[in-house]
């Protein structure tokens, strides 16, 4: 990523988008309360509310919470679950991720031969197929799960070469996901201006799509500019300190971020591979792959050094509210066991995690890290092959 890319993340100006008002039946989660962490609503009310037992994003309590007032797990590079490829960031498929409770999908994309592909660093290194096929998978899941709101963050890897949001619209239309995409009332929409999950579900607009660079909400209002709506802690970390400091957008002030923006806590530990040492090319840049040898510790629920539980607690203190999204690799691996990342999110939300995790097989989580380590040799071979091809 080029941190010097321009962004309007520091701007506090807003425009009101035109939208038709509609009357919907309230889908609520019970009496509204407030708390220091993610509460059930923005304010208390004395009027009696019907108790809802239908879950919104797996919890009835979430139905009357604002979209921006819930902590969700984000599967980093969600589509990169390629067997025996150490550049993969996940073991389980997108469908399994959503079934397990992941509610933010994210992924690096590349514009190649007039088509958007889901690729890691290079399509020669890891190619998960077309981005449209990824969206079609999400649409199929949404059709079977009408009470869920899903977020997708597009990583536009070719933004510096001029690839913009308009290069993505054909895949959006062809996949069928356009009908679900939420368009905000304000541009940008500040944290306290978001609707509740219940309101979004009843309106049918249950997918929020962001793009990191070269979004244009005037031209394409249903793909939101990430950095005017949220900030990120340092991305692609290679050490276990996992600071909660604001890294992107570089122009945003702490005061603006704290008052108006949601945020992503990047908690994916990486290992830097010196490609030059492998290929003999001194000019070759290093690449980052997931540090799988300690993934269970990294995804641990406890408030201990280097673990997700500690980062969530630390960021909550630093920003006076929990992270909106917890970005992780191999979400299905953790301590004290599978599902630890969801335990961290549940703690931030003030609810109890009692679901079964993860995937179709109870042994899948235990096998994830060794499988990724075995694929290291395959990755090195692919790197050498890719370098040879470019010479």
Cα–Cα distance, 10 to 111 (Å, whole number): 28
What's the sign of the alpha-carbon dihedral 354, 37, 310, 263?
positive
Only one residue has tokens 């979209």, namely 67
Write b or e for each residue in 171-193: b if 16 or more Cβ atoms lie within 10 A of its Cβ, otherwise e.
bbeebbbeebbbbbeebbbbbee
In Å, what is the CA distance from 378 to each residue of 85, 325, 364, 387? 7, 32, 21, 14
Active site positions, annotated: 76, 120
Do residues 207 and 177 lie in contact, with contact meaning Cβ atoms separated by under 8 Å? yes
Cα–Cα distance, 10 to 228 (Å, whole number): 7
> Which backbone phi and psi does 129 adopt, to 5 degrees?
100, -175
Query: Which residues have a Cβ under 8 Å from the Cβ of 368 and sit 6 or more positions away?
Result: 91, 292, 295, 330, 332, 333
Cα–Cα distance, 140 to 89 (Å, whole number): 23
What's the sign of the alpha-carbon dihedral 312, 313, 315, 320?
positive
SS3 8: coil
Upstream peptide bond of 135 is cis (omega within 30 degrees of 0): no
Kindly compute the dihedral angle of the four CA atoms of residues 346, 350, 352, 358, in this order, to the nearest 10 degrees: -10
Do residues 217 and 51 lie in contact, with contact meaning Cβ atoms separated by under 8 Å? no
* Helix, strand, coil share (%) of the chain residues, nearest 5: 30, 20, 50
pLDDT of residue 37: 75
Cα–Cα distance, 132 to 118 (Å, whole number): 9
Pairing between β-strand 115-120 and β-strand 262-266 as defined by DSSP bridges: unpaired
Upstream peptide bond of 188 is cis (omega within 30 degrees of 0): yes
Of residues 375, 377, 387, the one with CA closest to residue 275: 387
Cα–Cα distance, 112 to 131 (Å, whole number): 11
**Ramachandran quadrant class, 280 (left: phi over 0; alpha: psi -120 to 50; beta: rest):** left
pLDDT of residue 38: 82
Residue ranges in the chain whose pLDDT is less than 50: 1-8, 20-24, 31-36, 41-46, 361-366, 369, 371-391
């Amino acid at each position: 990523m080029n941190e010097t890319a321009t962004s309007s993340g520091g701007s506090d100006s807003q425009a009101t988008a035109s939208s038709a008002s509609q009357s919907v039946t309230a889908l609520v989660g019970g009496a509204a309360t407030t708390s220091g962490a993610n509460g059930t609503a923005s304010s208390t009310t004395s009027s009696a509310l019907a108790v809802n037992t239908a879950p919104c994003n797996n919890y009835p309590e979430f139905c009357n919470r604002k979209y921006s007032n819930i902590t969700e797990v984000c599967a980093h590079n969600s589509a990169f679950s390629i067997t025996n490829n150490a550049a993969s960031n996940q073991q389980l498929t997108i469908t399994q991720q959503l079934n397990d409770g992941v509610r933010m999908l994210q992924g690096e994309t590349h514009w190649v031969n007039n088509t958007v592909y889901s690729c890691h660093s290079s399509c020669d290194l890891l190619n998960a197929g077309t981005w449209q096929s990824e969206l079609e998978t999400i649409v199929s899941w949404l059709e079977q799960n009408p009470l869920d709101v899903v977020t997708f963050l597009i990583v536009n890897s070719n933004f510096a070469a001029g690839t913009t949001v308009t290069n993505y619209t054909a895949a959006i239309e062809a996949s069928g996901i356009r009908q679900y995409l939420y368009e905000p009332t304000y541009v940008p929409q500040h944290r306290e201006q978001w609707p509740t999950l219940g309101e979004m579900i009843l309106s049918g607009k249950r997918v929020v799509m962001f793009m990191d660079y070269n979004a244009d909400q005037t031209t394409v209002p249903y793909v939101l500019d990430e950095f005017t709506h949220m900030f990120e802690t340092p991305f692609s970390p290679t050490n276990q300190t996992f600071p909660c400091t604001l890294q992107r957008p570089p122009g945003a002030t702490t005061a603006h971020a704290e008052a108006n923006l949601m945020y992503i806590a990047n908690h994916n530990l990486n290992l830097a591979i010196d490609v030059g040492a492998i290929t003999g090319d001194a000019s070759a840049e290093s690449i980052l792959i997931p540090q799988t040898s300690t993934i269970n510790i990294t995804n641990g629920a406890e408030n201990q050094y280097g673990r997700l539980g500690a980062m969530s607690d630390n960021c909550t203190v630093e920003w006076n509210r929990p992270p909106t999204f917890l970005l992780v690799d191999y979400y299905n691996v953790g301590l004290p066991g599978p599902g630890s990342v969801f335990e961290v999110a549940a703690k931030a939300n003030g609810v109890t995690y009692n679901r079964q995790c993860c995937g179709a097989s109870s042994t899948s989580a235990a096998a994830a890290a060794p499988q990724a380590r075995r694929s290291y040799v395959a990755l090195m071979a692919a790197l050498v092959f890719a370098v040879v091809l470019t010479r």
